[in-house]
Amino acid sequence: MLIVHWIGRLLRFLGRLLLRPGVLFAVRMLGGWSFVLAVIALASDIVRSNGGLLGLAPTPFSAHWRAIAPGSYAASEAWVRTTLGAGVWDGPLTALISIPTFVLLAMLGIALYWIGRTRRTVNIYAN
């Protein structure tokens, strides 16, 4: 019961935090930059394929991660395996980071932009 209480408090805090206009703008900006990086990753895969879109062989996110920061990849893998178990790394996380980089970044960008969207104000008048 205590865990449910703390999860509720965390969700209420995040809800109040996301209602601030500056935070919404920052989340939208992160979404935009993520989408720009997705387009760059797609362009990189197209240029590397030499055959245009027909010979496209997208690079998975894990390959980019290992190429850019191999120490971070190894540390993350070790932490997940010891803390959460080997099944978590071998199952859902490996499947998630095996997605092509441009798809993963585009999904992240769309989600962040949707979370940071401007909310409609609803005026309620009670007589």
Question: Tell me: the pLDDT tens digits for 33-48?
Answer: 999 999 999 988 888 8
Number of domains in the chain: 2
> Between these two residues, 96 and 120, which has the higher pLDDT value?
96
- Whether 66 maps to a domain, the answer reads yes
Q: Answer yes or no: do 53 and 64 share one domain.
A: no
- Tell me the residue range of the domain where 54 lies: 21-59+102-117
| Percent of the chain scoring above 90 in pLDDT | 43
Q: How far apart are CA 111 and CA 30, in angstroms?
A: 10
| Residue in this structure with the two tokens 């760059």, named with its chain if needed | 40
The amino acid at 35: F
Asked if 50 and 68 sit in the same domain, the reply is no
User: Is residue 83 domain-shared with residue 65, that is, in the same domain?
Assistant: yes
Give the count of beta carbons closer than 10 Å to the beta carbon of residue 123.
4
CA dist 62 and 94 (Å) reads: 8
- pLDDT number for residue 36: 95
Please tell me the pTM assigned to this model. Answer: 0.74
**pLDDT exceeds cutoff 90 at 120:** no
* Predicted confidence (pLDDT) per residue in 71-111, tens digit: 999 999 999 999 888 888 998 899 999 999 999 999 999 99
